[in-house]
A and B are shown apart, each in its own frame.
Chain A
C-alpha cells in the first residue's frame, strides 16, 4: 500500500520533470521524484541508501541543477516547442525499450521468487563492508570525486581575457 503511494509519487514527479516547460518547475518535480525514491528505499529497508539519496540527490544534485539553470537562463522565454526536432523517432524507440524491459521482467524467473524476510543492514555492517571488502572502490570513488570537482571547476571557469 505504502509502496504504491510512493511509486505513484515518484512516477508523477518524474513525468512532471520531463514534461514541464519551466526548467525550475521541472527541477522541483525532480526533487519530488528523488524524495519519493528515498521513501521507497526506506520502505525496502535500506535506510542508509535512502538517507544518502536525500542528502546527495535532493541536497546536492538538484541544487546544482538549479544553479546551472540560473546560470544558463535565456533572456526571453522561448516560444518554440519543448520537444527536440527528432522526438518522433526517439519516442518510438523509448516505447520499444520500455516494452522489452517490461516483457523481460514479466517473463523472468524473478516473478516466482520466494520473498525473504527483511535483512539486517546496520551501520556497523555497512562500515565494515566499506572498510574491508569494498576498501578499494571507496578510495577510487574518493579520487573520482576529487577529479570531478577539479574538472568541473576547471571547465566552468571563466575563460582568460585573450580568448574573447
Chain B
C-alpha cells in the first residue's frame, strides 16, 4: 500500500470516528469535538495529496489546509459560544432534549 493510500485510509478512519461521535453521543460538546475531528481528517487529506500529488510546488494543498485550520478555529469558537448560550437557556447540554424546532 502506498503512503498516499495509507494516509487516505487514516483520514477516512478519523473521519468515520469523528462522524460516529457526532452522531452517537448525547452531549453537545462531544458533537462539536467530533466535528473538529472530521475537519482534521479533511486537513490530513489535503496535506497527503499535497505531498503525494502531481504538483507540490504550487502549495495548493498546504494553503487549503491553512485556511481550513483557520475556519475550523472560528467555527469552534462560535459553536461553543452557541452551546454556552443554549446551556444558559435550557440548563442542559443534552441535545436529545433540544428539539423544540420541530414540524
Q: Per the CB under 8 Å rule, do A and B touch in the complex?
A: yes
Q: Give min CB distance, A65 to chain B, whole Å.
A: 6
Binary flags per residue of B6-30, CB closer than 8 Å to A gives 1, else 0: 1111101111111111011111011
30 A-B pairs whose Cβ atoms sit less than 8 Å apart in the complex: A23-B30, A26-B33, A33-B37, A40-B10, A44-B47, A45-B51, A46-B50, A53-B69, A57-B72, A65-B29, A67-B80, A68-B29, A68-B80, A84-B24, A87-B23, A90-B23, A105-B5, A110-B5, A111-B5, A112-B2, A119-B56, A120-B57, A121-B62, A126-B62, A130-B63, A145-B73, A145-B74, A149-B74, A151-B78, A154-B81
Q: Assess A10 versus B14: contact at CB under 8 Å? Given A97-B19, A110-B5, A148-B78.
A: yes
Q: Which residues of A contact B (CB under 8 A)?
A: 3, 7, 10-11, 14-15, 17-19, 23, 26-27, 30, 33-34, 37, 40-41, 44-46, 48-49, 52-53, 56-57, 60-61, 64-65, 67-69, 71-72, 74, 80-85, 87, 90-91, 93-95, 97-98, 101-102, 105-106, 110-113, 115-116, 118-121, 125-126, 129-130, 133-134, 137, 141, 144-145, 147-149, 151-156, 158-159
Contacting residues of chain B (38-61) with chain A, CB-CB under 8 angstroms: 40, 43-44, 47-48, 50-52, 56-57, 59
Chain B: residues with CB nearer than 8 A to chain A? 1-10, 12-21, 23-27, 29-30, 32-34, 36-37, 40, 43-44, 47-48, 50-52, 56-57, 59, 62-63, 65-67, 69-78, 80-85, 87-88, 92-93, 95-96
**Cα(A117)–Cα(B89), bound, Å:** 55
Report the Cα distance A32→B60, complex, angstroms. 27
Q: A46-B65, A48-B62, A110-B8 are in contact. Are A84 and B95 (CB under 8 A)?
A: yes
What is the predominant secondary structure among interface residues of chain A facing chain B?
helix
Q: Give the residues in chain B near A102, CB-CB below 8 Å.
A: 9, 12
